[in-house]
Every structure is written in C-alpha cells, then in structure tokens.
Amino acid sequence: MNSLKGIALLLLSLISAIEINAQHTYVVSVGIADYQNINDLTFTEADVVTFNHIMAQHDAVITTLTGAQATHSNIIKTVRSVFAKATPSDAVIFFFSGHGYEGGFCCYDMQANSHLGGMSYQEMQILFRNCRAGRKMVFADACFSGGLGKQRTQLQVQAVANNEVMFFLSSRLDETSLELPQGPNGLYTYFLAKGLGGAADINNDRVISANEIYNFVSINVSSWANQIPHNQHPTIWGNFNQSMSVLDVK
C-alpha cells in the first residue's frame, strides 16, 4: 500500500512539474476598421479573425480588442495584464491591424492631426521590457509602420535594439500596406497566415523560424504588390535571434 502511495505521489509531482514547465503563447490581437476620428478601413478586423484562427490551432491564450474596444488606454491595460502572466518559457505576441503612423500604431481614439491616441513603439518597448517571456513578437499590418521614425534619437533607437523583441511590420516607413481587392484580408496578413500555417517552413523541420517567416512573407508581398504596381516591402527589426522559433507547424 505504501509503495502504491509512493508511486501516486511521484506521478503527481511529475504532472505538476510538467504543468509548471509547460510553454504557453499569450496573444493580444487588435483590429480597428471603424475609427473614431480618422478614416475607416475594410478588412482589418477580419485580419484579427484570420490571425486568431492560426493561433487557436496552437492552443494560444488569445485576447482580442476590436473597434471601440481598442482605445489607447485599453490596449495598454490589456497588454500589461496579459503579458504579466508569461514566464521565461512562454511566448507573447502582439498582433495589430489598422492605421499606422511614423513611429507607431493608430488606436481607435487616435486624433486626426496629432499623435494623441497613438501607441508608439517606445511605449510598446516599455511593456515588453516588463514582460518575462522568453520570446516576444509584434506582427502589424499597418501603413507607414516600418520604422522608428526620423524624430527618434539615437539613444531611443539603441534602447529598442537592446530589448529582445521581434518587430515584423507590413511595410516600410514611407509605404502604404495593401488590402486584397476582394478581401478578406490585408496582403501582409494573408501571407503571414499562410506562412505560419506551414508554407514558410522551407527546411521542413516543423518549426517556423523568424528568418523563414520574414523571407516567405516579404518575398510574396512585395512580388504581389509589384504587379499592381505598388511598393510594399515588409520589414523586420529588433534584437532577436533569426533562428528563433516563431511557431511550430501542426
């Protein structure tokens, strides 16, 4: 009897250890089509549905903000709350589809002629800096999103570089990001979802690396846009390992 109890206790301890060390992916997805003060978009909230569908297949813990839910203060509050749950064995992802501006993303309450209501990359860096996750990623389908902005000082740029976050954005600083003519997604989100679904796994190791997803999306987006013709070149930056695992292939 004592031996059976001992075995049971051992099994319970092993299960507990597995649960403690289990890896989780925490996702905050934001999509804004109907803005309060600036012009509206078409497929941005559908982009969130598409991205969430991929992440749900990987049992990610997903929190979604769309439309009027996606105010500046609510995005900050939500990201801080969700990312606080992550441990060093976990991954956190911020997905955004909406308007962008030089140096950040346009929240629902973005003002028409100022950056009030915008979520700057600097703000995001602070949120990520306070997060313990081992892998931190941003995916954004937004115009003019691909840079820190010319107004950033070298000190601010260095602060971003020193924080281990991968920013993968849909276009360069001076480019707009296309939506597919017939929908249902933005061009970047369409190929991002396709790549994360397995198409980007070029070496067939069942893992989508940062380098693989960047190469797959950037080549396909720029090639497709060029046929219009239109210039759109996804860009990736941050201080991260290019072989970092973004997602396993199901």
Check: pTM over 0.85? Answer yes or no: yes
Strand partners, 30: 65, 96
Residue-wise pLDDT tens for the chain (250 aa)?
555 554 444 444 443 433 444 589 999 999 999 999 999 999 999 999 999 999 999 999 999 999 999 999 999 999 999 999 999 999 999 999 999 988 889 999 999 888 888 998 888 888 998 899 999 999 999 987 665 444 444 544 554 555 678 999 999 888 889 988 888 999 999 999 999 999 999 999 999 999 999 999 999 999 999 999 999 999 998 888 999 999 998 7
157's CB contacts (< 8 A; 6+ apart) are 148
| Bridge pairing between strands 245-248 and 207-209 | antiparallel
Which pairing describes strands 61-66 and 25-31: parallel, antiparallel, or unpaired?
parallel
Phi first, then psi, for residue 238 (nearest 5°) are: 130, 180
Of 247, 229, 179, 144, which is closest to residue 42 (Cα–Cα)? 179
Sign of CA dihedral 168, 171, 176, 177: negative
